[in-house]
Structure 1
Amino acid sequence: MTAIIRPSEPRDLPELTAIYRHAVLNGTASFEIDPPDEAEMARRRDALLGAGFPYLVAEEDGRIFGYAYAGPYRPRPAYRYTVEDSIYVAPDLQGRGVGRALLSALIEECERLGFRQMIGVIGDSSSTGSIALHRSLGFLNAGVVRDVGYKHGRWLDQVIMQRRLGSGTDGVPGVERSAETA
């Protein structure tokens, strides 16, 4: 797969909405039950971009194969250097490297923006592909929260994975080291 990874644009929303709709209705990556419409997807995207978070797409020959974004891990100010990743890939292209390309680019962009930790919250402990993808890109298992979601007639776990970004917990975020302290 030779998809181009680029920032999302408003023109991508119909395909983003369709990819997410399939994930909501058929999968466990999202604990959402009813898929949002295009207007709601636009609102969510705009809110993330407006808050300074990256929102990327994988495109080839005009087709969007998947998308990934980072958002706040939690709303309290102390979490401001920690992001949560989300990745969705078109169902016919899962397992072909699109997710890896998206997550790699997302990690890079979050490091460039100065974030220090990335959390992967994987819906369902049987999502071995997503768990393996995160592990292959340096995420460590931070724990499993058992039976916290009920979807598709069964209880679902959440697997929490964590990856250091940039200098991680070295130094004070947002403060450049001076020559005197280096």
Structure 2
Amino acid sequence: MRKYTRLAREEAKGSCAAVIRPARLNDAETLLGIYGPYVRNTAISFEYKVPGAEEFQKRMGKIVQKYPFLVVEEDKNIIGYAYASPFHEREAYGWSVETSIYVKQGFHGYGHGKRLYRELERILQKQHYLNMYACLAFTDQEDEYLTNASKSFHECLGFRTVGRFSRCGYKFGRWYDMIWMEKMIGVHGKLPDVVLPPQAELSNDNGGAHCM
């Protein structure tokens, strides 16, 4: 996979506690270990069945042709990942992306998700994308399968709710809503800049590593 992130290593004693880097195809099984519990135990993902490693690799391979796919490591162990994907296939939507993020259970609340998203946004801006969208499961009555923490997380990062679909997702014998959240990350001029491919984004001299 391409190098997406620039070197932003802080001057500090010892090694970095956590590092953001581009995902690799051979990370697929580890990422599935993070994603799987969201599928099996929550309504955060509307998938019913955890995909296999081969299918997950195919998804990753398709995404990185145009979009960043990042992981965050702590002591060389992956504890979360985030990526962008097409908002819509039609050409006129070409400056918009959908974003997704998953943090390993037990590692929430330490700022890893926010740092991942900020780095993702920085890269997308460099590529000349203008709009970020997040599609989130939502409920008026939180339960053991779904809270609205994701909505609050995105609001903290500058997203706003722009749409809601009622009872459109069925999982665990219950109906859940879906909301779209939006963040503008660029200027919408009369003639937008051409979106750059991932390899044209500024890479660094240290394998894409970004210390947190």
1:17 aligns with 2:32: yes
Q: Following TM superposition, by how much is the alpha carbon of 1:152 offset from its aligned partner in structure 2, in angstroms?
A: 1.4
Whole-Å separation in 2 of the counterparts to 1:95 and 1:151: 26
Aligned with 1:35: secondary structure? coil
Could you give the per-residue CA deviations for residues 141-172 of structure 1, whole angstroms, max 9, x where no partner exists? 102111100011110111211000122x2342
Relative to its length, the structure with more helix (as a share) is 1
Can you give the 5+ residue segments of structure 1 that lack an aligned partner in the other structure? 176-182
- Structure 1 residue identity aligned to 2:150: S
1:31 aligns with 2:46: yes
- Among 103, 111, 126, the alignment partner of 2:117 is 103
- Structure 1 residue identity aligned to 2:64: L
TM-score with structure 2 setting the length: 0.77
Corresponding residue for residue 68 of structure 1? 82
- Structure 1 residue identity aligned to 2:104: A
- Structure 2 residue identity aligned to 1:63: N
Q: Following TM superposition, by how much is the alpha carbon of 1:10 offset from its aligned partner in structure 2, in angstroms?
A: 2.2
Aligned with 2:164: secondary structure? strand
Corresponding residue for residue 137 of structure 1? 157
Can you give the 5+ residue segments of structure 2 that lack an aligned partner in the other structure? 1-15, 195-212
- Among 156, 163, 166, the alignment partner of 2:183 is 163
User: Across the two proteins, how many residue pairs are aligned to each other?
Assistant: 173
Q: Which moved more, 1:7-16 or 1:33-42?
A: 7-16
1:113 aligns with 2:132: no
Whole-Å separation in 1 of the counterparts to 2:126 and 2:176: 34
- Higher RCO by CA contacts (8 Å cutoff, separation 6 or greater): 2
Q: Cα RMSD over matched residues?
A: 1.5
Q: Please say if residues 25 and 61 of structure 2, whose CA atoms lie closer than 8 Å, have aligned partners that are also in contact.
A: no
TM-score with structure 1 setting the length: 0.89
Report sequence identity in percent.
35
